[in-house]
Amino acid sequence: MVEDLAFHLMDLVQNAVSAGAATIDLRISESARGDLLTLEVVDDGSGMDRQTLLQAQDPFFTSKSFKKVGLGIPLLKATAQACRGDFHMASRPGRGTRVRARLQMSHIDCPPLGDLEGTLLSLLVSLERVNLRFRYRSARGEFSLASKDIRRQAGSLHFSHPDVFRFLREYIREGLGGLLNPGS
């Protein structure tokens, strides 16, 4: 297993970018009543046929020519299953891919979310040509953002511009402020 779930989110988004996604939906929901943490990444990339979809869950398969193994998806699947949750992956060629992992939040092996703020900032700054849509939902409320909307407000300034970056950091920090589970 990995130290935190933000690692998995970053890996899934990178997979979507590699598949040519123009839009990536990153959703996290926390259900205290159901004791479930759900991570979901949906993209409009090139998608996979059934054979590739099955192979993507095998740690000894990767579509990346510079790697010999692809551990990201198999590790997330193993983590979800080890935490009394489940894992689901669906894809269609030309239509994109959907990955969902649910974990029992109270399970002793459930990793923390990690640095969600830093992960979001990194993704927003590095994904210039992708519309990243993010939503975090818990019993304490909801926070969402879309990079397309932020780009419109920033005008010609890149997200790495100090003023824009500072705005993004504060916006994310304020938005997630009271929503995250204290154990995250």
Task: Write down the pLDDT at residue 181.
Answer: 64
In the prediction, which pLDDT does 68 show? 42
Domains in the chain, CATH or no CATH each: 5-176 (3.30.565.10)
pLDDT value at residue 56: 83
Per residue, what are the HEC states of the chain? CCCCHHHHHHHHHHHHHHCCCCEEEEEEEEECCCCEEEEEEEECCCCCCHHHHHHCCCCCCCCCCCCCCCCHHHHHHHHHHHCCCEEEEEEECCCEEEEEEEEECCCCCCCCCCCHHHHHHHHHHHCCCCEEEEEEEECCEEEEEEHHHHHHHHCCCCCCCHHHHHHHHHHHHHHHCCCCCCCC
pLDDT in tens, the chain (184 residues): 567 999 999 999 999 999 999 999 999 999 988 999 999 999 999 999 999 888 888 776 565 544 444 568 989 999 999 999 999 999 999 999 999 999 999 999 999 999 999 999 999 999 989 999 999 999 999 999 999 999 999 999 999 999 999 999 999 999 999 887 665 5
Give the global pTM.
0.89
| Residue 162: partners with Cβ closer than 8 Å, 6 or more residues away | none
